Structure formats: C-alpha cells, structure tokens
Amino acid sequence: MTGPAVDKYGVLKDVFGHDRFRPGQEAVVDALCGGRDVLAVMPTGGG
C-alpha cells in the first residue's frame, strides 16, 4: 500500500524551513512514504 508520490525535500523546506534532514530522519520519512509502520524515537537536541 503506497500513497501518492511526495516531494519530501519540498515539504521539508516549505513546511519546516529546513534544507536537509538530520541523521536518521530521511530513513523514517522514506519508510512512512513507502507505507511501512514506523516507531521512531529521535533525540531533540535540547540537552
């Protein structure tokens, strides 16, 4: 089960204002866009 093609870099820039993903984020986005179930626990970097 896959949805419509998504411009992940366009969404990243337009919605979040970033030019590139942080380590590990792109793999999560790819899995979600590929219709896979994902549980991602990511550090916030807030200290």
pLDDT digits (tens, 9 = 90+) for 9-39: 999 999 999 999 999 999 999 999 999 999 9
Q: List for the chain the helix, strand, coil content (%; round to 5).
A: 40, 0, 60
Angle, helices 25-33 vs 8-16, to 10°: value is 120
Distance CA 20, CA 8 (A): 10
Give the pLDDT score at 22: 93
Q: Among 33, 47, 4, which residue's Cα sits nearest to residue 25?
A: 33
**11 within 8 A of 17, measured Cβ to Cβ:** no
Tell me the pTM.
0.77
